[in-house]
Amino acid sequence: MKTDTFNDTTDEPNETFTLSGTLTSNGAPYSDSGIATIIDNDTPTITVGDPANNGIGDITVPEGDDAIFGVNLTGVAVGGTLTLTMAQSGVNPATEGTDYKVTTFQYSLDNGTTLEQRHGRHGVRGQPGRQPGLVKTDTFNDTTDEPNETFTLSGTLTSNGAPYSDSGIATIIDNDTPTITVGDPANNGIGDITVPEGDDAIFGVNLTGVAVGGTLTLTMAQSGVNPATEGTDYKVTTFQYSLDNGTTWNNATEGTAFAVNLGDSQVLVKTDTFNDTTDEPNETFTLSGTLTSNGAPYSDSGIATIIDNDTPTITVGDPANNGIGDITVPEGDDAIFGVNPDRGSGGRHADADHGAIRG
């Protein structure tokens, strides 16, 4: 005696049915029965990852978008349940609550038509067998340069009392590019600066989106058509920087990197200019800054123009009084004037710059 059994794809316990037989002989009945146990051959599976590939492979998500995982289940028994957990992972782990949020994650058993917000253990609803599911959570769009960061969704399917697990990784793709502007501190480092001769030249170095561990390197150099001279017009060896809007000043070493604040900030940089007494054109020098954030360099520079404050003078008159005052001359004698030009040399006159004129 034989009968068919059916090969389904659903995890289930081994099942039984009975064949009973009754023999009638000489009008008398004789009975017996036998039990057939159908040995189940189905093993449930779970894959967690790319929803476009049946949960196979990891996913990437632009910072600020929803991270959506596919959780594909096959062969699930009646009463099967799914437990989901999220955790930071990898070399650059995303931070829960800052980069992604466990408390907002949701799941769907109908391809996203209906989303339910839960935590921990979730019952799998619907028909046993194959159950495609989606799981999503928020990621946060910050403004800080950082490496791409990862977190993991782990799923455990329990079917007929046995656990089956898998996990998938989400990589949050950072979308922040740091910036640096060097120049006018009153305009977020945009535009060049002017400084009266003898005053401090103060630059603003504005930084945005700086990563943890970001550094700044500063250099100064003469520049332009009328370049200022280092050591005579300005002095590199005295320049300083401030990370707290000028409350505290730190001595800077040209070409040596120093740590800067995370995120957005302004660094003030100042150096001496010298108040000489020589008439000269306005002169320029340049501050260049290189921000290093996540290993990548970002550079800008700003120009300082030193405004000369020296005005030449000339006096014509009494040669005994530096050309000051008129002269008298006896008729028939030479009239001798003193002509004293002062070209801003501190009162020291070369022979070519002054003299007596005989008339």
Whether this prediction's pTM lies above 0.75 is answered by: no
pLDDT digits (tens, 9 = 90+) for 165-205: 999 999 999 999 999 999 999 999 999 999 999 999 999 99
Q: How much is the pLDDT for 344?
A: 53
Supply angle C-alpha 53, 55, 56, rounded to 5. 70
Q: How much is the pLDDT for 191?
A: 96
Domain 179-307 has CATH 3.40.190.10: no
Distance, in Å, from the CA atom of 209 to the CA atom of 317, rounded to the nearest integer, reads 67
DSSP string, 25-88: ETTEEEEEEEEEEE------EEEEE-GGGTT-S-EEEETTSPEEEEEEEEEEPTT-EEEEEEEE
Q: How much is the pLDDT for 118?
A: 60
Q: How much is the pLDDT for 255?
A: 92
Domain 45-173 has CATH 2.30.30.830: no
Q: How much is the pLDDT for 36?
A: 83
pLDDT digits (tens, 9 = 90+) for 63-117: 999 999 999 998 888 888 888 899 999 999 999 999 998 877 888 887 777 777 6
- Within the chain, all domains assigned CATH 2.60.40.10 are found at 45-173, 179-307
Question: Which residues does the chain have with pLDDT short of 70?
Answer: 117-132, 343-359
Distance, in Å, from the CA atom of 290 to the CA atom of 293, rounded to the nearest integer, reads 10
